[in-house]
Amino acid sequence: MSVPFPDPASDDGTEARLLAEAVPGDNAPALSVSQLSAAIKRTVEDGFARVRVRGELSGAKRAASGHFYAALKDDNALIDMVMWKGQAGRLAFRPEDGIEVIATGKLTTYPGRSKYQLVVDTLEVAGEGALMLLFEKLKARLGGEGLFDQTRKQPLPYLPQVIGVVTSPTGAVIRDILHRLADRCPTRVIVWPVLVQGEGAAAQVANAVRGFDALAPGGPVPRPDLVIVARGGGSIEDLWAFNEEVVVRAIADCRIPTISAVGHETDVTLADYVADVRAPTPTAAAEMAVPVRAELQAQLATWQGRMIGAANRQQALRSERLAALARHLPRREALYAPQRQRLDDNGERLDRAQRYRLGVVAERLATRSEALRPALLERRWDRDRAKLEGLGRLLDSLDPRALLSRGYAMVRDGEGAIVTTAAKARGAGHLRLQFADGEVPVAVSDGGQTLPPAAPKPARKQPPAAPGATGRGQGELF
């Protein structure tokens, strides 16, 4: 089924045209989309340069760039809003869905989507009711993480040596704490000065708690044994810095026991929930921190008296027991008598053993001294002398020089080595003949020719004879 095109003639009698043509007398040329969007933007920004809008946050989110986006709505309308990174980083609270706020900024358009939005400079909670709603939301979220569980609480030290106080250095709070500590038990106090309300207060309180926790034991600044986070009373808005998530997490992470003393007894903050102990007032925090010195001294004196009395009673009781046991012991003389008799018996046995040992040694000495008499020594010397003389005669008979005196000669080569064969003599060339009265050099003939004699070499120096030796020495044999 086909649908016919409409009649090109319009309802007002003018004919629809396919091609746009300039109409005579028309002073409004066609605008581009960008031109129209820019005109709308100028109109909106000029007409709403500064506005304050109250509404409920919806779709709140913080982008990775740090910018904050959300929508403000009421029962009948909704408007987008954006808060740039610089302003969003200075927010005094964490915006969440459902919180009623008052946004201050300017209205502008976003041509990329043909939408208008509110660029917010400041964002505030709209009244104490909205602030309490934010408080409950934050409390529920952090409580769900277990930050307020009783199992995480640390016990307070009984007598801290150093107390760290996070508060304003000029307010009445620090004076009350110092005065109360001086009355009860003087203790060293380190004050970390911070703002306790207004912009930047939460960051300073959190940094102070983390700073105390980061101090090293034994360092130039002593590490506190206890930390008190304190502030005077005020409205929920004045105390809001102690409800900030950054403060709650800093107290939760602190390894030092903490006391929260923020506001008066009826004031409650999230710092009270997360701290190890909550004090109704700063003065009460000082009372919780230390005992009363006078009471402590009295208690110590009581304990000392009881300890001395117990020691005296124990000493008296043990003395009585010792005396009772001593009555059952035998007398000293009865204990010593057997030992004395045993000592006498052992002494006599020792004397007999010494006399016997001396007799055995004397007999052994007499037996061995017989072998050392002079007659026996002389016979041994004569026997050894005769043996030595026989060896001397044998040495003389083996001396080759004794043969030289009977017409024999000893043949040596030019190096002085003894020649024992004719072949070695012919090959030597020059020989030395050793006779009993001297040495004669000769030359060995080769092919009927007589070689000239070699120059005589000086005779080797003979070693001196040993003292007391008779005849020729044995060393001359070689």
**147 three-state secondary structure:** coil
pLDDT of residue 21: 65
Q: For residue 268, give the nearest of 289, 229, 239, 228 by alpha carbon.
A: 239
Looking at residue 86, which CATH number applies to its domain?
A: 2.40.50.140
Query: Given 261, 291, 321, which residue is the final one in a domain?
Result: 291
Q: Is residue 26 part of a domain?
A: no
Reported as type and span, the H/E element at residue 469 is none
**In 4-112, where do the E strands start and end?**
51-62, 68-73, 78-83, 100-110
Tokens found for residue 119: 């660029």
Q: Is residue 298 part of a domain?
A: no
Distances (CA, A) of 70 to 45, 92, 105, 169, 295: 20, 17, 14, 39, 60
- DSSP for 162-187 reads EEEEEE-SSSHHHHHHHHHHHHH---
Same-domain check for residues 185 and 79: no
What is the residue type of 409?
A: A
Q: Facing residues of 440 across strands?
A: 433
Same-domain check for residues 287 and 165: yes
Same-domain check for residues 265 and 163: yes
Q: Is residue 173 part of a domain?
A: yes
Answer yes or no: are the C-beta atoms of 82 and 120 closer than 8 Å: yes
Report how far residue 478's alpha carbon sits from residue 467's, in angstroms, rounded to the nearest whole number.
Answer: 20
Same-domain check for residues 172 and 91: no
Tokens found for residue 291: 């005992």
Q: What are phi and psi of 325, to 5 degrees?
A: -70, -35
Same-domain check for residues 50 and 103: yes
Q: Is residue 477 part of a domain?
A: no
pLDDT of residue 469: 43
**166 three-state secondary structure:** strand
Query: Given 125, 151, 178, which residue is the final one in a domain?
Result: 125
Q: Is residue 73 part of a domain?
A: yes
Tally of domains in the chain: 3
Tokens found for residue 12: 């007002």
Report how far residue 264's alpha carbon sits from residue 232's, in angstroms, rounded to the nearest whole number.
Answer: 7
Pairing status of strand 258-262 against strand 226-231: parallel
Same-domain check for residues 164 and 213: yes
Give the HSE-up count for residue 69: Cα atoms under 13 Å, Cβ half-sphere: 7
Q: Report pLDDT digits (tens) over 279-322.
A: 999 999 999 999 888 888 888 899 999 999 999 999 999 999 99
Same-domain check for residues 111 and 224: no
Answer yes or no: are the C-beta atoms of 218 and 247 closer than 8 Å: no
Q: For residue 276, give the nearest of 262, 290, 260, 288 by alpha carbon.
A: 260
Same-domain check for residues 225 and 284: yes
Q: Facing residues of 54 across strands?
A: 102
Q: Edge-to-edge, what's the strand order for the sheet holding 438-443? A: 410-413, 430-435, 438-443
Q: Facing residues of 117 across strands?
A: 80, 108
Range of the domain at 225: 159-291
Sort 259 into a burial class: Cβ within 10 Å, 0-12 / 13-18 / 19+: buried
Tokens found for residue 13: 């009698």
Per-residue confidence of the chain (478 residues) as pLDDT tens digits? 444 545 555 555 556 566 666 666 666 677 777 878 888 888 877 777 788 888 888 888 888 888 999 988 888 888 888 888 888 888 877 888 888 888 888 888 877 777 888 888 888 877 777 778 788 888 898 999 999 999 999 999 999 999 999 999 988 899 999 999 999 989 999 999 999 988 889 999 999 999 999 999 988 999 999 999 999 888 888 888 899 899 999 999 999 999 999 988 888 899 999 999 999 999 999 999 998 888 888 888 999 999 999 999 999 999 999 988 888 777 777 777 888 888 888 888 888 888 888 888 888 888 777 666 666 677 778 888 888 888 888 887 777 777 777 778 888 887 878 888 888 888 887 888 888 788 888 888 754 444 455 455 555 544 454 444 444 444 443 3
Other residues' Cβ atoms within 10 Å of the Cβ of residue 96: 14
pLDDT of residue 166: 95
Answer yes or no: are the C-beta atoms of 60 and 53 closer than 8 Å: no
Same-domain check for residues 185 and 115: no
Radius of gyration of the chain (CA): 63
**8 three-state secondary structure:** coil
pLDDT of residue 448: 42
Q: For residue 145, give the nearest of 228, 255, 245, 267 by alpha carbon.
A: 245
Report how far residue 396's alpha carbon sits from residue 40's, in angstroms, rounded to the nearest whole number.
Answer: 151
Looking at residue 170, which CATH number applies to its domain?
A: 3.40.50.9100
Answer yes or no: are the C-beta atoms of 63 and 83 closer than 8 Å: no
Answer yes or no: are the C-beta atoms of 284 and 264 closer than 8 Å: no
Q: Is residue 424 part of a domain?
A: yes
Q: For residue 439, give the nearest of 426, 453, 452, 423 by alpha carbon.
A: 453
Query: Given 268, 291, 314, which residue is the final one in a domain?
Result: 291
Distances (CA, A) of 233 to 122, 201, 268, 313, 401: 26, 15, 10, 56, 138
Q: Report pLDDT digits (tens) over 170-198.
A: 888 999 999 999 999 899 999 999 999 88
Distances (CA, A) of 305 to 60, 310, 319: 68, 8, 21
Same-domain check for residues 108 and 174: no
pTM over 0.85? The answer is: no
- DSSP for 197-210 reads SSTTHHHHHHHHHH
Reported as type and span, the H/E element at residue 132 is helix 127-144
Same-domain check for residues 112 and 185: no
Tokens found for residue 325: 């046991």
Q: Is residue 59 part of a domain?
A: yes
Report how far residue 80's alpha carbon sits from residue 61's, in angstroms, rounded to the nearest whole number.
Answer: 12
Same-domain check for residues 56 and 105: yes
Q: Is residue 55 part of a domain?
A: yes
Tokens found for residue 340: 């004395």
